[in-house]
Structure 1
C-alpha cells in the first residue's frame, strides 16, 4: 500500500460522505465516487460531522483554538481528480474547514494561523484496495481508541463479509476481535434491519443498538420471537411486531367529548437495554405482557406476573435451604438473641405449612359466561331457602337495588343470594362466601364446611330474560370413593333455560377436597365486597382490569376531588415479593401503603375497582356506607350509579343508614333506576317490602321516613 507525506490547502480536501459514522442515520444515502466532490454533498457531509451548533466537534474546536493544530495522528487521503478524499481524519478536517470559515470572516480562531489552513500535513494513500481501507478504518475505530457507534462497527464487519467475501475468521484476525463479538454484531444488525423495514423503522437511532443486542443475547427473547441463527431472522411476525412497538413511540387517535379527533403520542415502553432483561423474566406470561401493553409499565406487569412470583418463590426456597444448612453447621455460635430470631422465623415457616391436608383451596379463576351479551340482568329472585331467609320474593329489580333494615335481618344474606345464583354451579363461589363468613383470611379446613352447612340452598330467578335456578345440598355420596376420612359431599345443580350444570365436592378430614364437574359456567361476572372482608388477590385483578379498561384514572380523580386533593397517584408496587398499593402524595415525601390512609378512602378505592371488574355483570356491596363520611355519600352514590351505567353493572347493596338512602335520592341521578327493599321481622320470619325509587323520594322528602 504505497503512501507518501504531502501538504495541501484545506480547500482541496473533500470529506467522505460514505463515512461509517453516517450509516446509522436515517437520512444517510450512499454517494458514488464521481459525485463525492459535489458542493451539495460536501455541505451535507460537513453538517453531519459538525452536528447542530457544532455539538459533535466542540472538543476539537476547543483543542485547536487553545493548542493549535497538532500533527499527532495521520490524516489519510486518496487522490480523486484534482482533490483529495479524506479516508481517515474526517472530524479533524471538518473542524479545520469550520475554523477556516471563521478565520476568513475575521473571527477569533485562537492559536491557529493562516498557514495551518494552507498547508495541512497529510498521508496520501496511492492505489489502495477498498478492502485495505476498510480494514485500516476498522483497526482505528473498532479495535483502536477512537470507537465508532456499535451499529457502525457491525456494519463495517458485515460489509467485509458480504461485499468483500471475507470469512469470519479472516475478519476476526484482521480487526483483532473475537468470533463471539463478530457474530453477535451481525445478528444484532440483522434484527435492526428487520426493525427498519417495519412501520416503526424511521425511529431507529444509534443508542437503540444495545436494546437489539440484548434481545439477541437473551435466550427467552430469542425464543419468543423465534430467532434463527442460521438465516439471522426472527420468524414470529406477531411477536416481533409487538416487540418493535414496545421500543417505539406510537400514536393513538382519541375522540373528545365534542367528537373531535385528537392524536395522542405514547412514549416507548422500553428505553434502556436493561429493561429487556426485566421483560424476559415474564415474556412467557401472556397476562403480564397484556397488562404491560395496556399500562405501558414494565413494573406493573412484573408485579402481577405469576411466572415472576413462582420464580421468586423457588429462589427463596433454594436460598432458605442453603442458608439453613450453613446455620446448622455453625450452630455452636448461637446466642440467646439468635434463638429468639430463629423462633420468629420458625413461626413464619409454620404459617406456610397447612395445619392439615384437608385444607379448602379456592380457585378464583373466572369462568365463561353463559350469556354473550347482558341487557336486563336480574328482574326478580325467589329465595326458597338460604340461611334464615325463607320464601322471599324480590321483584321489580332495577339497575341499583338497595336493601335496608336493622341488624341481623338478613341484608348480607340477600346479597349473597344474588351472588350465588349468578355463579350457577361454580362451587368456588359458595366456598368463597363461607370463607369470609368464617373470617378466614387464608385457606380453611373442610370440617368448617361440613359443620356449618346446616340446610339446603334453593334459589330461583329471572336473568337477562331467562329462567335460572340453583340448588345446593349436603349429602353422603353414593359414588364408589375412598371413604377413609370422608365427611360429606356438597352437591350443586344450576339451571339456565334448558341447560343443567352439575358439580360436587367431596370433603375429607385427612386430605384436600375433591371437586368434580363436567362443565361449569356462570350467568355473568360477579363480585362481593364487604367492609368485613378483604380479598387481596381479587383487588389486584380488579386493579389490572381497571387499567386495561382505562378507568383507573377516573378512580384517582374521584379520590382527589372528594377525599384528598394531595394524592397524586396510587400504584401497585412489589415490595419484597409482596404486591401492595402505594400512595404518592404532595404532602409526604415518600410513598406510603394505602392502609395508612383512612378506612373511607380504602373502601371507596375497593368498591370503585370492583365495579369495573363486574362489567356486564353484578356487584354486591354489603354496608356500602361503612367508614364513608356522610358528607361524601351524595357524590359517592352518584359515582356508583354513573359507573354502573358506564360498564353495564347491576348493583345490589345493603345499608342501615338513612343518610345513605337520602344520598341516593338527593344525588338526583336517575332516581327511576333505584329500587329499595326494607327487611323486617314479622311473626318470627324475615319479610321483604318493596319501595320504588320515586315513592322512596316522596316519603323521605315529605315525612322524613326512616327506613331503618
Structure 2
C-alpha cells in the first residue's frame, strides 16, 4: 500500500531512463542496477537541468517563492537501503538538488531552509506494476503538466504495445487518447524506425516527428508508399527510400564523373506543411522530377498540372459565384465601384496560371465537400468521450427525430453543438462559429479570447450512414517551423470516416490574422444550427434561395397562413438600402412590413421551416424548439417539422425543457416510429442520458402523464 515518508534529498535517485530524455542526443538506456551510479546520476542531473538550468527555471522560481508545496508530492520506489528511485517528479527533484547546491555556496534560496532538504515528504509506491508506472507517467506528461515531446509520447505508446503487450484499446482507455491518435502514433513511430535504419538514419532529430506524422496521416502519400496497415510499413521500398532522401542532407554528385563532392545539398522537405504540398503532386512524375532536380517543393508544385488544374477550376467557380452576386445587386454600383471593376477586368485579361499558397486562408466560412454521395441513414450512435461537461456518454438508438429534454445546465445545448460540430468534421471554422456565439462575438473575433477559453479537448466517436467516424480537437503548442512572432497556440483537428483521415491546424496569434492549414476540408452532410438566441441572416438568405429554386417555399408560407395568420398574403425577400430583408404583404395592411414586426413565434417557425429544406439529406439542430411558439401551435408545428424531416430526409436534434413540447410530439397525428426522446440528468456532477422510443414514449405519456424533464 502506498504511504507518505520523509527522506533526505541525497537518498533520491533520478530516473536515468525518463521518457523525457529519449529524443536527446546524449541519452543511452541504462540498466536499473546501474541507475544509482555516480556518473550516470550526474549525467541525468545535467540532462534535467538543461543549458543554464533552462529546463527547471520555472521550478526554481516556484520553490524559492513558495517553498515545497505538498499538493503534488514526489513519487518514489525503494531500490536499495536508503536509496529511492524517483518515479514521478524528476524535474522537481533535480530543481531541489540544484537549490541545495546553491545553499551550500551561500546563494539565496528564498523560502527554503536547510531542513527542507533533509525531510522531503514523498509517496512510497509499494506495489505499482511496470505497466501502471508507465500509465501514471503518461497521464501526467501526455495530457497535463510539462508535456513530453511527441517523440517521447510515441515511445511510451510503443513500449506499452510491444514490451508490455497492451492492446490498442487498453492503451486508449488507460491514457484517455482516442484509437485514431494511438494508431497514428504507431504508424509514425514505425516509419521513423525505418528512417533510422536507412542510410540517412543518423540525421534524425526529434523535431522531424511532425513531418513523419504528416506523411502517415496523408492519404495520397500512404497510397504512394503502398502502406501496409498490418505490417505498419510501406511496400513500395523504392518510393520509401526516395522519400527518405528528400528529408535528408545528401552529397552533391559531380555530373561529369558521377562522384560525390564535398558540397552538401540541403533537404527538400524540412517543414510539415511541405508534406501537404508534396501530396498534391506526388503522382505527377514530371513535377516530382522537377522538385528533385531543383531540390525545391515549389519547383514541383509550380509544374504540376494537377495542382494547377484544381486551383484554376476552384478560382473559376468562385469567380462565377461572385460575378453572379455582383449582377444581382448591380443597381447599387457607384463610380468608384466601376473603377474597381475596370481594374479587375484588366487583371482577368492578363490572367496567367500561377502557383498560390494553398494553406493560408481567412476564417470566413468555407464549405467542405461532402464525404458521402448519398445518405440513407444518418447518425445511429454517438459516443461522447469529452465535450465540455459531457464525459463518457453513449447516445444510442438515434432516429429521424431526436428530442433532448432536461433541466437547466444539463448539457442540452452542448449535445446540439457536438452533433453540429461532428457533421463538419475537420472544417475547423465550425468550432470558431460555436465559440464566437458562446462568447457573444458577432463581428470581430478575439484570438486571445479563443485561446483563453478553448481549454478542454473534444473527442467524439459515432456511426453515420453506417460508417464509423470520429472527431478529435485539442489545443497544442505547434512544433512546426512557423513564424512564432506573437504566437499563442494552435488548434488541431483530426476527423476520421471509414478509415480516411482529414486534419486541420489553426495557428493563433495575438496581433495578426490566424493561419489555417488543411489538406482537404470534408463534411459528413449539410447541417445547420437554429437557436432563439442567435441570428444567422446569411444562412437564412441561402435557405430562402434554395426554397425558391426547389419550389417548396409556398408550402412554408401556407402553413403560416393556415395555422398562424390567414391575413398574410406573401413573404418576399427584397433589397432596401443595399440590405436584404424579408417583407410581409398582409390583407390587413396598406403596405408591406418587415417580418421582424411580427411576433417572435412566427419568425421562429419561418426560420426553422426554411432550414429544414436547406439541410436536405443532412442534419438540423434546433435549440429550445418551443421558445416563443404558443403552446396551442405546438401540436401542429411538431407534426409539420416531422413531415418536412421525411420529405427532405433530415435528421433532427431538438432540445426543450417544456413538457408541453414533449406532449405535442405524442399528441400530433404524425407516426412516432421515428421519434426518440432522451432525458439528460445530472447526479453528483455526472450527466447521464436515457432514452424512450416514440411508441413507448407515447404510451407512457398517455397512461401516466410522464414528465421526462
Deviation at 1:699, TM superposition (A): 1.4
Correspondence 1:556 to 2:557: yes
Provide the rounded CA distance (Å) in 2 between the counterparts of 1:434 and 1:308.
33
Q: How does 1:289-328 map to 2 (within 5 A)?
A: 305-306=325-326, 312=332
Matched residue of 1:669: which SS?
coil
Matched residue of 1:401: which SS?
strand
Hey, what does 1:571 align to over in structure 2? Answer: 572
**Counterpart contact for 2:425–2:471, Cα < 8 Å:** yes
Provide the rounded CA distance (Å) in 2 between the counterparts of 1:672 and 1:318.
58
**Counterpart contact for 1:527–1:610, Cα < 8 Å:** yes
Deviations 1:475-521 (A, max 9, x none): 11111111111111100000001100000111111111111001111
Hey, what does 2:385 align to over in structure 1? Answer: 384
TM-score by length of 1: 0.51
Structure 1 residues 567, 668: closer, same or farther in 2, change over 3 A? Answer: same
Q: How does 1:323-402 map to 2 (within 5 A)?
A: 362-402=363-403
Deviation at 1:317, TM superposition (A): 7.8
Provide the rounded CA distance (Å) in 1 between the counterparts of 2:573 and 2:448.
36
Hey, what does 2:169 align to over in structure 1? Answer: none
Hey, what does 1:430 align to over in structure 2? Answer: 431
Deviation at 1:310, TM superposition (A): 8.7
Matched residue of 1:671: which SS?
coil
Provide the rounded CA distance (Å) in 1 between the counterparts of 2:331 and 2:392.
52
**Counterpart contact for 1:361–1:444, Cα < 8 Å:** no
Provide the rounded CA distance (Å) in 1 between the counterparts of 2:565 and 2:669.
24
Deviations 1:154-213 (A, max 9, x none): xxxxxxxxxxxxxxxxxxxxxxxxxxxxxxxxxxxxxxxxxxxxxxxxxxxxxxxxxxxx
Q: How does 1:136-155 map to 2 (within 5 A)?
A: none
Provide the rounded CA distance (Å) in 1 between the counterparts of 2:631 and 2:336.
47
Provide the rounded CA distance (Å) in 2 between the counterparts of 1:421 and 1:665.
29
Provide the rounded CA distance (Å) in 2 between the counterparts of 1:678 and 1:526.
23
Deviation at 1:698, TM superposition (A): 1.4
**Counterpart contact for 2:679–2:690, Cα < 8 Å:** yes
Provide the rounded CA distance (Å) in 2 between the counterparts of 1:561 and 1:624.
20
Structure 1 residues 520, 591: closer, same or farther in 2, change over 3 A? Answer: same
Deviation at 1:383, TM superposition (A): 0.3
Structure 1 residues 504, 639: closer, same or farther in 2, change over 3 A? Answer: same
Hey, what does 1:408 align to over in structure 2? Answer: 409
Q: How does 1:445-524 map to 2 (within 5 A)?
A: 445-524=446-525
**Counterpart contact for 1:385–1:459, Cα < 8 Å:** yes
**Counterpart contact for 1:623–1:653, Cα < 8 Å:** yes
Matched residue of 1:390: which SS?
strand
Provide the rounded CA distance (Å) in 2 between the counterparts of 1:640 and 1:618.
13
Hey, what does 1:650 align to over in structure 2? Answer: 651
Structure 1 residues 285, 564: closer, same or farther in 2, change over 3 A? Answer: farther
Structure 1 residues 496, 542: closer, same or farther in 2, change over 3 A? Answer: same
Provide the rounded CA distance (Å) in 1 between the counterparts of 2:682 and 2:482.
44
Correspondence 1:592 to 2:598: no
Hey, what does 1:629 align to over in structure 2? Answer: 630
Hey, what does 2:703 align to over in structure 1? Answer: 702
Matched residue of 1:636: which SS?
helix
Structure 1 residues 362, 554: closer, same or farther in 2, change over 3 A? Answer: farther
**Counterpart contact for 1:361–1:443, Cα < 8 Å:** no
Provide the rounded CA distance (Å) in 2 between the counterparts of 1:484 and 1:506.
11
Matched residue of 1:672: which SS?
coil
Structure 1 residues 315, 657: closer, same or farther in 2, change over 3 A? Answer: farther
Q: How does 1:23-34 map to 2 (within 5 A)?
A: none
Provide the rounded CA distance (Å) in 1 between the counterparts of 2:574 and 2:474.
42
Deviation at 1:683, TM superposition (A): 1.9
Provide the rounded CA distance (Å) in 2 between the counterparts of 1:573 and 1:456.
44
Matched residue of 1:539: which SS?
helix
Deviation at 1:285, TM superposition (A): 7.3
| Count of residues in Structure 1 that have an aligned counterpart in Structure 2 | 374
Hey, what does 1:327 align to over in structure 2? Answer: none
Matched residue of 2:588: which SS?
coil
Structure 1 residues 629, 536: closer, same or farther in 2, change over 3 A? Answer: same
Provide the rounded CA distance (Å) in 2 between the counterparts of 1:428 and 1:381.
22
Matched residue of 2:687: which SS?
strand
Deviations 1:69-117 (A, max 9, x none): xxxxxxxxxxxxxxxxxxxxxxxxxxxxxxxxxxxxxxxxxxxxxxxxx
Structure 1 residues 284, 673: closer, same or farther in 2, change over 3 A? Answer: closer
Matched residue of 1:556: which SS?
helix
- Higher mean Cα deviation, 428-437 or 305-314? 305-314
Provide the rounded CA distance (Å) in 2 between the counterparts of 1:707 and 1:284.
49
Structure 1 residues 422, 575: closer, same or farther in 2, change over 3 A? Answer: same
Deviation at 1:311, TM superposition (A): 8.8
Structure 1 residues 438, 311: closer, same or farther in 2, change over 3 A? Answer: farther
Matched residue of 1:385: which SS?
strand
Matched residue of 2:697: which SS?
helix
Matched residue of 1:407: which SS?
coil
Deviation at 1:309, TM superposition (A): 5.5
Deviations 1:123-143 (A, max 9, x none): xxxxxxxxxxxxxxxxxxxxx
Provide the rounded CA distance (Å) in 2 between the counterparts of 1:480 and 1:493.
20
Unaligned runs of 5+ in 2: 1-316, 340-360
Give the CA RMSD over aligned residues. 2.4
Structure 1 residues 678, 522: closer, same or farther in 2, change over 3 A? Answer: same
**Counterpart contact for 1:382–1:393, Cα < 8 Å:** yes
Matched residue of 1:380: which SS?
strand
Deviation at 1:307, TM superposition (A): 5.2
Structure possessing the higher radius of gyration over alpha carbons: 1
Matched residue of 1:584: which SS?
strand
Correspondence 1:613 to 2:614: yes
Q: Which stretches of structure 1, 4 residues or more, deviate above 3 A after TM superposition?
A: 283-289, 306-319
Provide the rounded CA distance (Å) in 2 between the counterparts of 1:707 and 1:631.
21
**Counterpart contact for 2:405–2:678, Cα < 8 Å:** yes
Deviation at 1:466, TM superposition (A): 0.2
Hey, what does 1:35 align to over in structure 2? Answer: none
Structure 1 residues 543, 447: closer, same or farther in 2, change over 3 A? Answer: same
Deviation at 1:442, TM superposition (A): 1.8
Hey, what does 1:231 align to over in structure 2? Answer: none
Hey, what does 2:253 align to over in structure 1? Answer: none
Unaligned runs of 5+ in 1: 1-282, 290-300, 320-359
Provide the rounded CA distance (Å) in 1 between the counterparts of 2:333 and 2:493.
35
Deviations 1:405-455 (A, max 9, x none): 011110000111111111110001111111111122223111121011020
TM-score by length of 2: 0.51
**Counterpart contact for 2:620–2:653, Cα < 8 Å:** yes
Deviations 1:601-622 (A, max 9, x none): 0000000011111000000000
Deviation at 1:385, TM superposition (A): 0.3
Deviation at 1:365, TM superposition (A): 3.5
Structure 1 residues 637, 684: closer, same or farther in 2, change over 3 A? Answer: same
Deviation at 1:364, TM superposition (A): 2.7
Q: How does 1:171-190 map to 2 (within 5 A)?
A: none
Hey, what does 1:421 align to over in structure 2? Answer: 422
Deviations 1:291-330 (A, max 9, x none): xxxxxxxxxx8xxx245559947757899xxxxxxxxxxx
Structure 1 residues 460, 436: closer, same or farther in 2, change over 3 A? Answer: same
**Counterpart contact for 2:531–2:624, Cα < 8 Å:** yes
Structure 1 residues 594, 487: closer, same or farther in 2, change over 3 A? Answer: same
Provide the rounded CA distance (Å) in 1 between the counterparts of 2:336 and 2:629.
40
